[in-house]
Amino acid sequence: MRIYKALLPFKAISFDLDDTLYNNGPVIEQAELAMQQKLLQLAPKLGLIDPEFWWQKRKELAQLDPEVRHDVSRWRLLSVEQGLTELGIGRCEAGEIAELAFTAFYNARSNLTVPESSHQLLKALAERYPLVAITNGNADLKLLRISQYFQHAYHAGPSGKMKPYPDMFHKACQQLAIAPHELLHIGDNSKADVRGALNAGCQAVWLKHEAHFQTSVLPHLQIDSLLQLQALL
């Protein structure tokens, strides 16, 4: 653990989810594959479409409507629907196929096992502090089987703009009835989590996965493993 700033007394803890409590990369790859397979099943005449095509549709949609990026579920759904219409599927049918393909993606993206060490840490912390989740993604706490530890979950889109915007941090503090500096946020992304928390007036712990990762904004604490948070107990 590396201390950059002295922690002030805090009353609640917020966690990022993806790549903080678990490794998100492999499950997203599987979710993308599940979406592709569902599309192939529902629209076989299109064949297997290059994933780059769908990524290009997302970029095009974000250029037309930058605000859509703040809701990753809606962004993906609309981009798939748009892509299908460009490939010759009627608008109504494209909407139905996009919904089913997104559902396949969504179910697969939460089909992972949170490490037992994360369960133990969350359980211990939840006995001392209110815990909330603040994420730019769309992981479902119930599907991840960790909802029992959290009082609230804030997802970009339904709960406001994505981190590093302050929306979700401020909403969490409001619902917890605490001042921003009384919330300690823990996350792996130096921009979204560290800069976002500090800009919102909260305190920040950076989970630094790789030694070469750098940040231009210093957190209060830097850790290399979630196990180091046991010092807060």
Question: Which residues are known catalytic residues?
Answer: 16
Distance of alpha carbon 81 from alpha carbon 101, whole angstroms = 10
Distance of alpha carbon 135 from alpha carbon 137, whole angstroms = 5
Find the helix packing angle between 72-86 and 51-64, rounded to 10°: 110
User: Do you find a cis peptide bond into 26, omega within 30 degrees of 0?
Assistant: no
Per-residue tokens: 72:
């990753």
Which alpha helices (DSSP H) does the chain contain, by range? Answer: 25-42, 51-64, 72-86, 91-109, 116-126, 141-144, 167-176, 196-199
Distance of alpha carbon 39 from alpha carbon 25, whole angstroms = 22
Q: What CA–CA distances, in Å, run from 164 to 43, 89, 143?
A: 38, 37, 26
Per-residue tokens: 76:
């993906």
Distance of alpha carbon 61 from alpha carbon 27, whole angstroms = 24
Query: Do the Cβ atoms of 207 and 188 come closer than 8 Å?
Result: yes
Residues near 218 by Cβ (< 8 Å), separated by ≥ 6?
4, 5, 194
